[in-house]
């Protein structure tokens, strides 16, 4: 997804603009559409985003639903309110709502054990296995590391199945104690989707479409690109490749159906938000009030910076498929989502009957952040902040250190490569390696070059370039994979490579490239 997204989202959460915000009582009059037009126009230009769709729901009515820019740099077709975007992890709220429907029907309880429904489910820690509940699948407190196992589902060419995900979770050693800290995890939402399938007797994708999308009239939406009834008005994925934004390969994988695969539009998502917020123009609620409230109840506490913020935020937490915090004394319920070449944000302030939807077709979360904050500022009575410039400054600050780090690595690679070309000695590294959960990885020569390829994730193929000693750098062949990595070989007493440990080069590499979780051992 996706590049550098998780780190940037964290930085945005901690960012405090230098300008002093001014506050006033919340505003009830609708925000002038021309003001939204202006902020989006600045955002498109400032962050090199081809297209954006925005919807605002207020007091039970859709007051804004518009598209801006183009769906694709290739076709130049315009974005409109019905243009379809991949909403990434905003899918998680639909997954938890689907489970909520089953709770309302008495078919499961939030605190039922996962093994009641998936007997083969197993974590590394026997205690966690025995105690893991449906609730635990949904609130990122498993004890696993950030993004553990995501290489099984990302990049999208992997051949892993839901069965593989369920089986392989047992191999991941916890990095914290069970239920003690927040660490985002996609694979457990895939398990949650399997719980839905086993209880409902049909695939999670079909259940969500039949019980949520269809009743809400979200007729253009679906739980995956291949399931769209009419994929004509849909964005292309875009991302910076070697410094230039361009169309990149769409993620067509189906494994993440319960974690991040829904495609929808500003117009369709307005129906979802209207249902959640209620009001005179809202669809009938699909969940019992107590069940919906449970989704928005803090489950896992998250840290809050002690520095003052424009919204005077005092708490942050994760509920069930939703992030939670306070903003100017009001409860904010939100989530972001990322797929390859597209990022999105849905934000609700239930007490103000306000919902904001921002969908983009470029991997730059600064865009949805600037637009969302601008709209939220207006309704919260916050003024005096330039949200676009704030994000420009944050991006510059964020990138400076990371760019210096990666530049230094590539300078060292260039120097080491001059020596290696004169005296190539790849024989001790060539061979087959195996990780207990990712599977086979081959290191081989291609001409005078050394390469690495993951058998079950065929897009993970790249050239191994000498760095220092027995440590190499993997430069991925697909340059849209913005996750070049170190590959450190350990040698036996005869100087033959015995294992490989990997980690990303840039500190801003997206956490879904969890190379650090691999333990590649030579098998031949």
What Rg do the C-alpha atoms of the chain give, in angstroms?
23
The tens place of each residue's pLDDT in the chain, 524 residues long, gives: 444 454 444 444 434 443 456 666 778 788 999 999 999 999 999 999 999 999 999 999 999 999 999 999 999 999 999 999 999 999 999 999 999 999 999 999 999 999 999 999 999 999 999 999 999 999 999 999 999 999 999 998 899 999 999 999 999 999 999 999 999 999 999 999 999 999 999 999 999 999 999 999 999 999 999 999 999 999 999 999 988 999 999 999 999 999 999 999 999 999 999 999 998 889 999 999 999 999 999 999 999 988 888 999 999 999 999 999 999 999 999 999 999 999 999 999 999 999 999 999 999 999 999 999 999 999 999 999 999 999 999 999 989 989 999 999 999 999 998 887 665 678 999 999 999 999 999 999 999 899 999 999 999 999 999 999 999 999 999 999 999 999 999 999 999 999 999 999 999 999 999 999 999 999 98
Query: 152 is written with which tokens?
Result: 């099984």
Helices and strands, number each (H, E), in the chain: 13, 22
Is residue 371 helix, strand or coil? Answer: helix
Query: Could you give the CA distance from residue 422 to residue 317 in angstroms, rounded to a whole number?
Result: 55
Check: CB of residue 147 under 8 Å from CB of residue 483.
no
Query: Could you give the CA distance from residue 175 to residue 243 in angstroms, rounded to a whole number?
Result: 35
Which residues are 488's β-sheet partners?
Answer: 471, 501
Q: Where are the beta strands (DSSP E) in 133-214?
A: none
Query: 137 is written with which tokens?
Result: 């699948």
Length in residues, the chain: 524
| Secondary structure percentages of the chain, helix, strand, coil, to 5 | 35, 25, 40
Question: What separation, in Å, do the N-terminal and C-terminal C-alpha atoms of the chain show?
Answer: 33
Helix H, strand E, coil C: the string for 376-387 is HHHHHCEECCCH
Query: pTM of the predicted model, to two decimals?
Result: 0.94
Check: CB of residue 100 under 8 Å from CB of residue 84.
no
Q: Pick from 325, 314, 328, 309: which is nearest to 381 by CA? A: 328
Cα distances (Å, whole numbers) of residue 10 to 53, 75, 394, 511: 24, 34, 12, 12
Residue 476: enclosing H or E segment and its boundaries?
strand 471-476
Query: Could you give the CA distance from residue 69 to residue 53 in angstroms, rounded to a whole number?
Result: 9
Query: Could you give the CA distance from residue 209 to residue 222 in angstroms, rounded to a whole number?
Result: 7
If phi over 0 gives left and psi between -120 and 50 gives alpha, with beta otherwise, what is residue 439? left
**Cis omega (within 30 of 0) on the bond before 493?**
no
Query: Could you give the CA distance from residue 81 to residue 100 in angstroms, rounded to a whole number?
Result: 29
CA angle 272, 265, 242 (to 5 degrees): 130
Check: CB of residue 482 under 8 Å from CB of residue 114.
no
Q: Is 106 exposed, middle or buried, given 0-12, 13-18 or 19+ CB atoms closer than 10 A?
A: exposed
Query: Could you give the CA distance from residue 519 to residue 354 in angstroms, rounded to a whole number?
Result: 47
Check: CB of residue 413 under 8 Å from CB of residue 505.
no
The answer for residues whose C-beta is within 8 angstroms of residue 396's C-beta and 6 or more apart is: none
Q: Which domains does the chain have, with CATH numbers?
A: 5-12+23-253+263-385 (3.40.710.10), 398-522 (2.40.128.50)
Is residue 314 helix, strand or coil? Answer: coil
């Amino acid at each position: 997804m996706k590049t550098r997204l998780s780190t940037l989202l964290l930085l945005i959460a901690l960012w405090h603009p230098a300008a002093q915000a001014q506050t006033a009582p919340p505003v009830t009059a609708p925000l002038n559409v021309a003001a939204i037009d202006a902020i989006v126009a600045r955002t498109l230009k400032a962050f090199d985003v081809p297209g954006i769709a925005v919807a605002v729901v207020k007091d039970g009515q859709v007051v804004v639903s518009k598209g801006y820019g183009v769906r694709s740099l290739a076709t130049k077709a315009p974005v409109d309110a019905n243009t379809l975007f991949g909403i990434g992890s905003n899918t998680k709220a639909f997954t938890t709502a689907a489970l909520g429907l089953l709770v309302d029907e008495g078919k499961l309880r939030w605190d039922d054990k996962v093994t009641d429904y998936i007997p083969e489910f197993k974590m590394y820690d026997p205690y966690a296995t025995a105690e893991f509940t449906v609730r635990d699948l949904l609130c990122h407190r498993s004890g696993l590391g950030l993004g553990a196992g995501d290489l099984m589902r990302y990049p999208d060419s992997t051949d892993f199945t839901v069965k593989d995900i369920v089986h392989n979770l047992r191999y991941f050693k916890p990095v914290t104690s069970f239920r003690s800290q927040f660490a985002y995890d996609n694979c457990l939402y895939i398990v949650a989707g399997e719980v839905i399938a086993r209880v409902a007797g049909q695939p999670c994708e079909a259940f969500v479409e039949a019980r949520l999308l269809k009743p809400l009239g979200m007729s253009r939406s679906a739980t995956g690109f291949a399931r769209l009834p009419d994929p004509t008005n849909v964005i292309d994925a875009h991302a910076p490749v070697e410094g230039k934004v361009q169309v990149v390969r769409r993620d067509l994988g189906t494994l993440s159906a319960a974690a991040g695969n829904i495609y929808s539009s500003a117009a369709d998502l307005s129906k979802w938000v209207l249902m959640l917020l209620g009001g005179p123009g809202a669809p009938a609620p699909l969940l019992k009030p107590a069940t919906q409230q449970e989704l928005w109840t803090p489950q896992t506490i998250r840290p809050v910076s002690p520095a003052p913020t424009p919204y005077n935020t005092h708490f942050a937490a994760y509920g069930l498929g939703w992030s939670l915090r306070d903003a100017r004394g009001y409860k904010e319920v939100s989530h972001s989502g990322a797929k390859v070449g597209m990022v999105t944000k849905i934000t609700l302030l239930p007490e103000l009957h306000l919902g904001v939807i921002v969908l983009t077709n470029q991997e730059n979360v600064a865009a949805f952040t600037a637009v969302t904050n601008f709209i939220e500022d207006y309704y919260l009575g916050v003024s005096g902040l330039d949200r676009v410039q704030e994000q420009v400054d944050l991006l510059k600050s964020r990138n400076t250190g990371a760019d210096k780090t990666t530049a230094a690595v590539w300078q060292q690679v260039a120097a080491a490569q001059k020596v290696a070309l004169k005296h190539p000695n790849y024989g001790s590294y060539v061979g087959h390696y195996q990780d207990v959960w990712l599977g086979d990885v081959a290191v081989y020569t291609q001409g005078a070059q050394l390469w690495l390829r993951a058998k079950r994730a065929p897009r993970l193929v790249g050239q191994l370039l000498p760095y220092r000693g027995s440590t190499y750098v993997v430069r991925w062949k697909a340059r849209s994979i913005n996750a070049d990595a170190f590959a450190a070989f350990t040698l036996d007493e005869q100087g033959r490579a015995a294992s490989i440990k990997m980690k990303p080069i840039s500190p801003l590499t997206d956490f879904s490239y969890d190379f650090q979780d691999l333990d590649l051992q030579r098998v031949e």
